[in-house]
Structure 1
Amino acid sequence: MKRHFGTLIFTLLLVAGIASMAHAEEVTLDKVIVSARGSDRLQSQTPGGTGVVEKEEIILAPTASIADSISRISGLTKTGDSPWGQDVSIRGLTGSSVVVLIDGMRINTATEINARLGFINPMDVERVEVLKGPVSSLYGSGSTGGVINVITKKGKFTSESDVSGEAILNWSTNPQGPDGYGRAVLSLKDLWIQASMGIRDHESFYGGDGTRISNSQYEDVYLRLAGEKKWSDLLTTRFQAMNIEANNIGIPGGSATMPQNAAITYPRSKNSLVSLDTVFTPKSDVVQEVLFNLYYTKNDRRVRIDKPAPPIAYVSPMADHETFGGKIQGEFGIGNHNIVTGLDAWNWHMVSKRAKHLVAGPVIKDKPTPTSTMLSMGIFAEDDWKLNEAFTLNLGARLDRIEVSNKANAIYDKGTEEDLGWNIHTGLTWTPAKNWSHTVIVASSYRAADILERFKNINLAPGIISRGNPNLDPETSYYFEYGLHYTTNTLSVTGAAYINYINNYIEEKQKTAALYEMENVGKARIYGLEMDANWRFAEHWDLYGNIAFANGRDLENKEALRSVAPINGLGGIRYTMGNGFWARLETPWALRQSEVPHGTERSDGWITCNTAAGYDFTMGKIDNSVSLSVNNIFDKKYQNYLANSRGVELLEPGISAAINYQIAF
């Protein structure tokens, strides 16, 4: 009962807030997205699946990872093994098939336990834009499944000098612990500088039946300095330096490639990002913008695996991943054409080591994965061609040269592999009548195998090895999607149907009783349907929801793909009022997943109920916002089919309440 006492108090306060009949900001029914074409486009006018989550939704979601908030988008489902280490599946593809960006810059990491979405504090995020599938030519290898672009908060130029800022305090009951965030901005007519900081510290969470999910704790400290200098009306330079360091991160289920009794933690996981952008915006009808970007990221991964197999007491693998990258990108207006084109390159370098600490005392050191480098250089172009008032044609293409090289170690010989990859697509937007639009896209793209898929060497159990394959061919994807959109001031409905064929599909296969190895297994097919709707059916009232269905098959082995989520969705009702109060009630749900590959357990269906309410008010020159939220109100015990648990009953969190207080000045 003690565990639920704080939750009960919050729930009573929340019910009082709902009874007051609350307000939230006006809903924008047709959102703008930049990541698909490199310039502003309405979602209803963009061929290919897209999704957007704004900062207001991010704040209300659990704060461990932005995976919690972006999984509200239809077709996206949380995966992973811990709150901090969550990833997402986009229409059945995940991990190396999805590119993760921070402000357009690639975050590379190669471990069996993915944690890219934990490498930024959600409170410092302005919005997240998602591309579903290979619908853009701007990003290159790894975007066959889609792209997640995390866009951070930034300052702005002001006509007079100004100091502004915000502070956010959050406390939740499950996982219990606080979150704190602060941001200060100095703004001038030709300069702004911003400093932000965040701290998160949470205990292990409890499942719906009161079971403590041990080793699911997380804590980290986040720092970011950013700014922009206006040299003239035509030229500006932006910079940022970001660092997040997490300690004692628990992985309750751990990697699927490790024995069930091997507890896994991150004693330290650290990510740093430094970037410099120069933007030239000439007063020309033809040359609209030219961007020069340089960036450097480094993530240090320290892992501890306890009791992996006798006579080893624990193993401490480590890996450092460095990526240097940059691009030159221009936007041009030529007649009825809006063209975004450029060059980009990135170089990903990995160094890893491992120490095996024996029960008897000695330590054995080795390099299971050789020092490796992956270099990608590409040229790309996107053209939106307005044929007439009803039709807009989108053409996109890119060509990449990818080189992967490695030094020799005990398992792999020194070698170099080269791939030539591409993305090419044709999209069409047809607006036959006011409020209606049809979108169609046909695309072909590729994904080169990453460093881990080529060179990993992991002891799964005594005498059993999981190994990479340096000779993997790139996956190639052939993709089609049709979308239908209807948008008015009170109603927005979007439907989509898609199919994705993938040749040379990369998967781990059992070669012998003692060896698992990565290989190209042939063809895979994923198809699905999605629908999103928002209906403002009365003054102050909105109904909203989405539903997603996907089916994935390994056509070579005639079985289901593991990373495809069951039919799932979200339904909700929102009440808004002009006096500063707001409230909502919503129900995420998923059906039973019975289409599973051999050796994988089926999952049961589930439905939960979440609610939130808040009040926005101004005192003097300070804007205040307080909100209360309760997730899984009825303490439902359930599991996520895509959770990676190694046979452990890895439950989703039970009832959880959170209070959030924000001030802005």
Structure 2
Amino acid sequence: MSKLKISYAITLLLLSNYVIADDKIEKISVHGIEYQTEGTYNNVALGSDVTIISQEMIVQAGSVDINKILTQFVPGLFANGRAGRHTDTDYSLQGSRPKDILWLIDGNRLNNRLYGSTYTDTINPMMIERIEVIKGGQGAIYGSDAIAGVINIITKQYQGHDQGEVSLSADSLPSYDAGAFVNAEVGDFQYTLSASSSQSEGYQLWPDEEYSPTAALDKERGYQMNNFSGKLRWQPNKSHSVSIFTQLNKGKLERPLAYNAILSENDREQQLSYLDWQYQASEQLLLQTKVHYQEWDSHYSEITKDKQGNTEIAYWNSYWGFTDIGATISANYLTDTGSQLLTGVEFQQYDGADEVMEFVAVKDDNYAAFVQYQPTFNALPDTALSLSARFNRISDSDQHWVGSLGITHLLNQKWQLRGSIANGYRQPTAEESQSQVGTLGNPDLESETSQNINLGVTFQGEANITFDAFWRNIDNLIEATDLGNAVWQYNNVAGDVTSFGADFHLVTDLTEALEFELSAGYANAERQDTGEQISRVPEFTGFSMLNYHTSDELNFWLSGKYVGKFLDYGLTAGDYVIASLGAQYWLTSDLNQQVSFTIDNLFDSEVTQSIFKHGHRAEYPIASMGAPRTLQLQYRYLF
């Protein structure tokens, strides 16, 4: 069996929470007396479809672009960098908008309340151990934004032995990436250090004829991003464990415009830190306290040019950013009969400002309490059940009750059924609720609320197959509406938005050396008031790959990605197929040096990746092109 298929098999075992051996099925406990070093509670998403992307899968995907990794391995997920790497990204999970997905790092929130977005390019792929994608409403445990699902990025930690890696890569744009990590143990301390640097001259986003005389002569979008992160774990005895993580990012990102500006760039810094203290009070009781801090500071500069050739400094080092502080205290209790009770309280405080859009996000405090019960029934040894509830109080006295029910049933050694039903909510962002340049915020907005149903089946045998169907209804959807005379305002739209569809995933061995993977997603997400699919959500997505392992040292692959049509600023984008070709070769017999070669966009297809429109001074929308054929060479040295 190939290494990739083994990764999927491990994933399926983790989802079912069963061990299959000697033709017998043995149900394993959720926690036992193990520390929760992965940053999330085991089995917390019982009944949901969960995709676990292993480190090996990340390496095979190229390991320098997290969006490429997610697109390849998560059916039903659309990840589209609007102008290539290190830029704004459209995310859609089972027909959702980006704001409906909650992002975590080791279980700590990443989403910001300024715009509701998450810049995943600040995560150094060298630091990622695995990625967990949990589909369906998860608001009962995680709170706001977890309407369509949760994506949790798990950082590397000590694996019982000292290890490290150095990675170098270059592509034909040209772009250059360098990264390294090392972890080791010294006494009671275990540490992991990681650093990376990415820079690129980029590619041209629009055809020459689309550039206005008021645009910059430099038509290619470049960037530079540097990252440093460290993780320290201290376990003085069997009862206590303390983990500290910090990440620092500093980047300079060009934002070329097709008109109105000859310079547009963003300097940004991010600091993300957390502390996780766990106390094993007994073999059955685990207490945990987590505190996280995130500070984001960006400075935007723009020089405009009109049709008469006059220039003006519109913005120079204008600030936009936010601060996010949070804490969670929880207790996880395992009864003598194997049932599990998880309960906790949370606090989160947020504030931010944007000098470009001219608004201030006042300090916002959130309080929450949650509980989850997973009973064990002797009469139903192959069935697992989960009941969850959460109460949220927001600083403006807005209150929300959230609940969920999840169930997983093992039919036999090969078939598993699962289902979940949940509700959720999303608070208005500061952008949506504050008055600003170009678009009017609305302080009277109500929080979006949602209802969610997911049903799925998994088969593990000669082939590994997962199929999931989903239905989601959102009330009080927040959208910018045209008031006339070029005036826009955020409002809760009339009518509901209902999304439904299905995801399919297949991994199988065609021969002993040839492996085939196929995934497809369908998402219908129409607004009742207009009858149109919501913006930037394709109705169809797909991915396929042939992986040929000639030996333990060498393998080749050919893949194809399909993105269906979607609307963006009223124009149509998407509707394309992109093929890629790659190979990996271990240079040494002890498998510590590897060379990878990939060709993305193999046939140099011209595709409409997104639609460009320059904010409140927009003259007209323009189709933005995807990257041309790109050759990449990567070298890895493991020690």
TM class, shorter-length:
0.7 to 0.9
- Per-residue deviation, 1:70: 1.0
Q: Cα–Cα, structure 1 residues 208 and 582, in superposed 2: closer, same or farther, change >3 Å?
A: farther
Counterpart AA for 2:266? P
| Contact 1:81-1:252 at 8 Å conserved across structures | no
CA distance in 1 between counterparts of 2:7 and 2:489 reads 49
What do residues 443-497 of structure 1 show as CA deviations (whole Å, max 9, x unaligned)? 1111111212111402xxxxxx311111110111011111111112x31111111
Q: Does 1:515 align with 2:492?
A: no
Q: Does 1:423 align with 2:402?
A: yes
1:74 paired residue number: 75
1:302 paired residue number: 299
Q: Does 1:353 align with 2:340?
A: no
Q: Cα–Cα, structure 1 residues 280 and 35, in superposed 2: closer, same or farther, change >3 Å?
A: closer
| Contact 1:23-1:575 at 8 Å conserved across structures | no
Q: Cα–Cα, structure 1 residues 132 and 251, in superposed 2: closer, same or farther, change >3 Å?
A: farther
1:177-188 alignment, distance < 5 Å: 177-188=175-186
1:319 paired residue number: 320
Correspondence for 1:448 among 413, 427, 451 = 427
Flag structure 1 segments of 5+ consecutive residues without an equivalent.
1-21, 254-258, 355-366, 404-416, 459-464
Q: Cα–Cα, structure 1 residues 37 and 107, in superposed 2: closer, same or farther, change >3 Å?
A: closer
Counterpart AA for 2:418? T
- Per-residue deviation, 1:304: 2.3
| Contact 2:291-2:327 at 8 Å conserved across structures | yes
2:445 paired residue number: 472
Counterpart AA for 1:399? F
Local SS of the residue matching 2:472: strand
| Contact 1:171-1:660 at 8 Å conserved across structures | yes
CA distance in 2 between counterparts of 1:390 and 1:54 reads 27
Counterpart AA for 1:40? N
- Per-residue deviation, 1:42: 11
Correspondence for 2:570 among 596, 600, 604 = 600
| Contact 1:102-1:149 at 8 Å conserved across structures | yes
Q: Cα–Cα, structure 1 residues 577 and 339, in superposed 2: closer, same or farther, change >3 Å?
A: farther
TM-score (norm 2): 0.86
1:58 paired residue number: 58
1:542 paired residue number: 515
Q: Does 1:328 align with 2:329?
A: yes
| Contact 2:276-2:288 at 8 Å conserved across structures | yes
Q: Does 1:243 align with 2:248?
A: yes
CA distance in 1 between counterparts of 2:345 and 2:117 reads 28
Correspondence for 1:650 among 612, 624, 628 = 624
Local SS of the residue matching 1:184: strand
2:594 paired residue number: 625
1:248-647 alignment, distance < 5 Å: 249-252=253-256, 261-262=260-261, 265-284=264-283, 286-287=284-285, 289-307=286-304, 312-316=312-316, 317-334=318-335, 335-354=337-356, 368-387=358-377, 388-403=380-395, 417-458=396-437, 465-488=438-461, 490-522=462-494, 523-593=496-566, 596=567, 600-603=570-573, 605-618=575-588, 623-640=592-609, 647=621
Q: Cα–Cα, structure 1 residues 391 and 644, in superposed 2: closer, same or farther, change >3 Å?
A: farther
User: Identity of aligned pairs, percent?
Assistant: 18
Local SS of the residue matching 1:138: helix
Q: Cα–Cα, structure 1 residues 36 and 177, in superposed 2: closer, same or farther, change >3 Å?
A: closer
TM-score (norm 1): 0.82
What do residues 405-433 of structure 1 show as CA deviations (whole Å, max 9, x unaligned)? xxxxxxxxxxxx22112321112212222
Q: Cα–Cα, structure 1 residues 345 and 301, in superposed 2: closer, same or farther, change >3 Å?
A: same
CA distance in 1 between counterparts of 2:553 and 2:611 reads 39
Counterpart AA for 2:572? R
Q: Cα–Cα, structure 1 residues 215 and 298, in superposed 2: closer, same or farther, change >3 Å?
A: farther
Local SS of the residue matching 1:654: coil
Q: Which moved more, 1:120-129 or 1:183-192?
A: 183-192
Q: Cα–Cα, structure 1 residues 332 and 200, in superposed 2: closer, same or farther, change >3 Å?
A: same
1:48 paired residue number: 48
- Per-residue deviation, 1:173: 1.4
Aligned length: 593
1:223 paired residue number: 228
| Contact 1:221-1:244 at 8 Å conserved across structures | yes
Correspondence for 1:192 among 187, 190, 193 = 190
Correspondence for 2:9 among 29, 34, 59 = 29
What do residues 300-340 of structure 1 show as CA deviations (whole Å, max 9, x unaligned)? 01122332878854224312311111111222212242233
CA distance in 1 between counterparts of 2:55 and 2:322 reads 29
| Contact 2:133-2:149 at 8 Å conserved across structures | yes
Q: Cα–Cα, structure 1 residues 584 and 318, in superposed 2: closer, same or farther, change >3 Å?
A: same
What do residues 173-211 of structure 1 show as CA deviations (whole Å, max 9, x unaligned)? 13x121111122231352112221111111112579999
Q: Cα–Cα, structure 1 residues 39 and 28, in superposed 2: closer, same or farther, change >3 Å?
A: same
Q: Does 1:126 align with 2:129?
A: yes
Q: Cα–Cα, structure 1 residues 246 and 456, in superposed 2: closer, same or farther, change >3 Å?
A: farther
What do residues 212-245 of structure 1 show as CA deviations (whole Å, max 9, x unaligned)? 9934211111111221111101211111221010
| Contact 1:37-1:340 at 8 Å conserved across structures | no
What do residues 557-605 of structure 1 show as CA deviations (whole Å, max 9, x unaligned)? 3332113213110111112255321221111113344xx58x6122352
- Per-residue deviation, 1:50: 2.7
Local SS of the residue matching 1:486: strand
CA distance in 1 between counterparts of 2:38 and 2:481 reads 35
Local SS of the residue matching 1:89: strand
- Per-residue deviation, 1:438: 1.3
- Per-residue deviation, 1:643: 7.7
CA distance in 1 between counterparts of 2:363 and 2:624 reads 35
Flag structure 2 segments of 5+ consecutive residues without an equivalent.
16-35, 212-217, 615-619
